[in-house]
Structures are given as structure tokens and as C-alpha cells.
């Protein structure tokens, strides 16, 4: 029986998932809130982005179940307490064990069967510089020069077929569970023709693309390195997939860490005014005047000194790296709240002058109760919008901090760490382009998905954006009709 390892970020991620499920159940019982979220998913770009983010979340959850394997007892040894492997693995490592165990000696190109760096070998009595065969990539080929192209093409086609078939099964099950009038065929026809309120056809196409891509990668990864290997021979695809968890942890935990400071201080400053407003403004103006990168770097270095001086607090290197990641999220939250605080202060200044707030104040309702019952619910949409928008910003923050050497631990996979290690690779000749390209492509795809989803959330939850866009559209239509 393996030993379960609970990391700080694992606990935080699973608590956030439970909170997300609870919020979804709550929103489902609130007609107004459910209607607003339907408007979010009625946006095709937001719905497609939501499917991509859901896939990334599943990878994050699979990489957030850590354990240490039970070691077999030594032959002939007396019975003793169970011993566990010092390596901490995750459920994702088990699923991708072919990539974990297929370590090469050094660089190799994507889908290659020979190494990238040439070695001196004796061929017919002559010393030649040749690229050696890889230990795992293309090892099943007896005549690589003749078999490689056909084998790769066959596995790509087979992966596409299996991926599309799996997507079709999932979509069919979803249509069967989808509430609505008529049978399965009627609902499937309505989705295909785009007659549903939520454009499920876009979600189906996005899901099919992801399954097809996953099928191709799964079909190749047991026999080749789809994205090549790095200088230490580790698979680049494995590093890229595990970097998604780091990005999600940074984006979610750091964003949520800003909320207590921003919400409490912002509402207090806007409602109480006077000396409380001046003191809070002084604090966030002071923080805003310090360059964020320098402040974060200084705090992260202090955290690193604390970790280095207390090595006995951690059993494994993974736990040490995880604590640094968790404290990095706290640092980003502590230093990133002034923007949202300033926004909530301005909104509260307007709300406190409205009639219902003045009436509550006249009836002797306490300030704390007014802020909780009347002010907070009316600024919650701003919190949600800013939280989603800041998610992508914090992912880029991590990349920048890791690039300058003050981000996550080097032993932990992250997009910033991969880009940092690619600095020398991009300047060598011949250039090693695949580690940087993989990290850049996945990071851009994740950030783009978050930004598109954030646009949908903003348009649905911000009353001004909902009122502004139809008015502008009506003006354009009226102008076109007049000119005609």
C-alpha cells in the first residue's frame, strides 16, 4: 500500500475544487446567477476556452495526488517496518510512466530515433562523428531509415482515429444526459444545427480536437519522444504537462491570496472614509510605488533563506519545493492586492450614497452589517472579473520570476523554468528549439484560454458592458439604415 503524501498545494487545490463544486450547486439554485452563467457559456469563445481549462484542471488534479511507493522487503531479511521509496510520484506520473521511464542521455529532436549530439564511433576502422541510436525513442525499429516515416504516420493516424472515437463516445453520453425535449437524435440534431441556447457544437469540436491531439500523443509516447528531450535526456512533453499544474497553482492560490486584503480594506476605505480611508490609501500607494518585481524578488529570497536554514522540516525534495511554491503564492497575493483594493474603494464610494444604504444607516444598522449585507454583494461581480483577469497575469509573473531565478524551485517543472533553461539552448549552433517552443506554445494556449474565458465572464457579470454593447450595436444599425 503506497504512502499518501499531502503537499500544501495539493490540499489547497482540492479545497478549491470542493469550493468550486459548492459554488456551482449554489449558482444552480439561484435563477439570476444561473442565468448569468448561461450568458457566459453562450459566448462561443468562452465556452471553447472553458473546455480547454477543464482539461488543464483534470491534468492538475491528476498531478495533485502524490504518494511514495512501498518498497519490497529484502530477501531473507527479518520482518520490519515498511519502507517507502524516497521519490514522490503523482497519479499523472503513473499515467505517463512511459515518458517518465524513457530517459535518454541528452538532447534528441521530436520523434527522432537518434541523438541530437554526435559522438565519435569506430566505423570500418575509421573514427567518425555519428548520431547514436536512442535507448527508448524508436528502439522498436529494426531498420530506422526505412521504417521510421511509415511507423510515425501509422501511429499518428491510429491516434487520430482512437481520439475521435473517444470524443464521439463522450459527446454521445453528454447528449444523452443533456436535459431537453425529444429523444437523443432530436437533441443531437439541434446541437449540430446550432439551435441550442448554449453553443454545444463549439464545445464538441473543441473536445474532439483535444481528444484527437491526446490520442496522437498517447499513440506516440510509448515509442518516441513527441516533443524531444532536454539536456539531461528527460522528456519535454512530460515537463510541459507537469508545468500546467504549477501555472494553475500560481494563478489560483496567488489570486485568492489577494482577496482578503483587497476586499476588506477596499470596502472599509470606501465606506468609512476619514482616517481609515487615508491610512489604507497610504498603504496601497506605498506598495504601488515599489516595483513589483523587485519587491517580490526580495520577499522570495527571504523565503529561500528560511527554507535553506531549516532543512530538517522537509522529508523529501518535493516537499521542500512545494513549500517554496506555496509561499511564492502568498508573496504574490500580499503584494498584488492594491489594484483590486483601489477599484473596490471607488465602487464603494458610489454605493454608500445610494438610497438603500442611506436608509439602512438611518435605521441604525451597524457599519459592519451594511458593508457585509449591502456593499459586498454589489461589488462581488468586480471581484470575480478581476480574479479571472489576474489569473493569466500571475502565470506570466511566474514565467518572469523563474526566468530571473527567483521563481519556483529548479527541481519543479514550470513554464518559466523551461524558458530559463532554454536561454543557452537557443544560442547554440545548431539551435535546440523544441524545449522553448513547447513551453511557449502551451503557456500561450493556457493564457489565451484564460483571457477569452475572462472576457466572457466580464461581459456577463458587468452590467455596464451588457448595457453598452447592445446600445452601440443599435446605433450602428440605425446609422446604416439612415445612410441607406
Q: Identify the helix (H) or strand (E) that includes residue 144.
A: helix 144-177
Distances (CA, A) of 112 to 134, 269, 333: 8, 61, 43
Which pLDDT does position 471 carry in this prediction?
45
Which pLDDT does position 168 carry in this prediction?
93
CB 250 within 8 A of CB 257: no
Distance CA(339)–CA(146), nearest Å, equals 60
Q: Which residues pair with 126 in a beta bridge?
A: 123
Which pLDDT does position 4 carry in this prediction?
85
Phi, psi of 70, rounded to the nearest 5 degrees: -80, 125
Averaged over successive runs of 10 residues, the pLDDT of the chain (484 residues) comes to: 85 92 90 88 92 93 89 69 80 89 87 84 72 86 89 94 94 86 82 87 94 93 90 90 90 87 90 88 86 80 82 80 87 86 90 87 87 86 80 79 78 85 80 90 90 86 55 47 50
Distances (CA, A) of 3 to 9, 89, 223, 259, 467: 18, 10, 31, 35, 55
Of the candidates 300, 294, 258, 251, the residue with the CA atom closest to the CA atom of residue 408: 300
For residue 129, give the 3-state DSSP assignment.
strand
Distances (CA, A) of 100 to 25, 72, 75, 170, 209: 38, 21, 28, 28, 25
In the chain, the N- to C-terminal Cα span, in Å, equals 77
Distance CA(130)–CA(117), nearest Å, equals 8
For residue 133, give the 3-state DSSP assignment.
strand
Which pLDDT does position 464 carry in this prediction?
57
pLDDT tens digits, residue range 112-127? 988 888 777 776 777 7
Quickly list DSSP for 218-250. HHHHTTS-TT-B-TT--BHHHHHHHHHHHHHHH
Which pLDDT does position 463 carry in this prediction?
56
pLDDT tens digits, residue range 263-272? 999 999 998 8
**pTM, two decimal places:** 0.86
- Residues recorded for the chain: 484
Residue 307 burial (10 A CB sphere; 0-12, 13-18, 19+): middle
| Side-chain half-sphere exposure of 377, counting CA atoms within 13 A | 7
Which pLDDT does position 356 carry in this prediction?
86
Which pLDDT does position 77 carry in this prediction?
60
Phi, psi of 12, rounded to the nearest 5 degrees: -65, -40
CB 241 within 8 A of CB 337: no
Of the candidates 385, 392, 407, the residue with the CA atom closest to the CA atom of residue 262: 385
Residue environment code for 98-107, b if the CB has 16+ CB neighbours within 10 A, otherwise e = ebeebebeeb
pLDDT tens digits, residue range 145-204? 889 999 999 999 999 999 999 999 999 999 888 887 778 888 888 888 888 888 999 999
What sign does the CA torsion over 453, 457, 459, 462 have? negative
Amino acid at each position: 500500500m503506497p504512502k499518501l503524501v499531502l503537499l500544501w498545494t495539493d490540499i489547497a487545490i482540492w479545497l478549491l475544487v470542493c469550493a468550486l463544486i459548492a459554488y456551482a450547486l449554489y449558482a444552480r439554485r439561484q435563477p439570476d446567477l444561473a442565468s448569468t452563467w448561461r450568458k457566459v457559456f453562450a459566448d462561443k469563445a468562452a465556452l471553447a476556452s472553458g473546455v480547454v481549462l477543464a482539461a488543464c484542471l483534470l491534468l492538475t488534479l491528476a498531478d495533485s495526488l502524490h504518494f511514495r511507493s512501498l518498497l519490497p522487503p529484502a530477501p531473507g531479511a527479518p520482518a520490519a517496518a515498511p519502507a517507502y521509496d524516497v521519490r514522490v510520484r503523482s497519479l499523472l506520473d503513473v499515467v505517463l510512466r512511459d515518458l517518465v521511464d524513457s530517459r535518454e542521455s541528452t538532447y534528441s529532436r521530436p520523434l527522432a530515433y537518434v541523438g541530437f549530439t554526435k559522438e565519435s564511433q569506430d566505423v570500418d576502422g575509421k573514427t567518425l562523428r555519428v548520431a547514436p541510436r536512442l535507448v527508448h525513442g524508436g528502439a522498436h525499429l529494426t531498420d530506422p531509415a526505412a521504417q521510421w516515416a511509415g511507423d510515425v504516420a501509422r501511429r499518428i493516424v491510429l491516434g487520430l482515429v482512437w481520439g475521435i472515437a473517444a470524443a464521439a463516445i463522450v459527446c454521445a453520453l453528454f447528449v444523452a444526459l443533456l436535459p431537453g425535449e425529444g429523444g437523443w437524435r432530436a437533441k443531437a440534431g439541434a446541437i449540430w444545427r446550432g439551435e441550442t441556447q448554449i453553443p454545444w457544437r463549439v464545445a464538441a469540436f473543441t473536445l474532439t480536437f483535444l481528444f484527437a491531439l491526446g490520442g496522437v500523443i498517447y499513440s506516440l509516447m510509448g515509442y518516441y519522444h513527441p516533443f524531444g528531450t532536454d539536456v539531461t535526456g528527460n522528456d519535454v512533453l512530460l515537463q510541459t504537462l507537469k508545468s500546467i499544474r504549477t501555472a494553475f497553482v500560481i494563478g489560483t492560490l496567488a489570486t485568492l491570496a489577494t482577496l482578503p486584503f483587497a476586499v476588506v480594506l477596499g470596502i472599509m476605505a470606501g465606506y468609512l472614509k476619514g482616517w481609515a480611508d487615508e491610512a489604507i490609501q497610504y498603504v496601497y500607494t506605498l506598495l504601488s510605488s515599489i516595483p513589483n518585481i523587485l519587491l517580490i524578488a526580495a520577499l522570495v529570497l527571504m523565503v529561500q533563506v528560511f527554507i535553506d536554514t531549516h532543512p530538517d522540516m522537509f522529508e523529501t525534495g518535493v516537499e521542500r519545493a512545494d513549500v517554496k511554491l506555496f509561499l511564492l503564492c502568498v508573496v504574490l497575493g500580499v503584494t498584488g492586492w492594491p489594484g483590486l483594493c483601489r477599484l473596490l474603494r471607488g465602487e464603494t464610494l458610489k454605493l454608500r450614497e445610494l438610497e438603500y444604504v442611506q436608509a439602512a444607516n438611518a435605521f441604525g444598522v451597524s457599519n459592519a452589517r451594511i458593508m457585509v449585507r449591502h456593499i459586498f454583494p454589489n461589488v462581488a461581480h468586480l471581484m470575480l472579473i478581476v480574479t479571472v483577469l489576474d489569473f493569466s497575469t500571475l502565470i506570466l509573473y511566474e514565467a518572469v520570476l523563474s526566468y530571473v531565478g527567483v521563481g519556483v524551485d529548479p527541481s519543479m517543472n514550470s513554464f518559466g523554468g523551461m524558458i530559463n533553461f532554454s536561454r543557452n539552448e537557443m544560442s547554440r549552433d545548431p539551435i535546440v528549439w523544441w524545449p522553448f517552443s513547447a513551453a511557449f506554445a502551451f503557456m500561450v494556449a493556457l493564457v489565451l484560454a484564460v483571457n477569452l474565458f475572462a472576457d466572457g465572464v466580464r461581459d456577463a457579470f458587468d452590467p455596464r458592458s451588457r448595457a453598452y454593447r447592445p446600445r452601440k450595436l443599435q446605433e450602428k444599425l440605425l446609422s446604416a439604415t439612415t445612410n441607406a
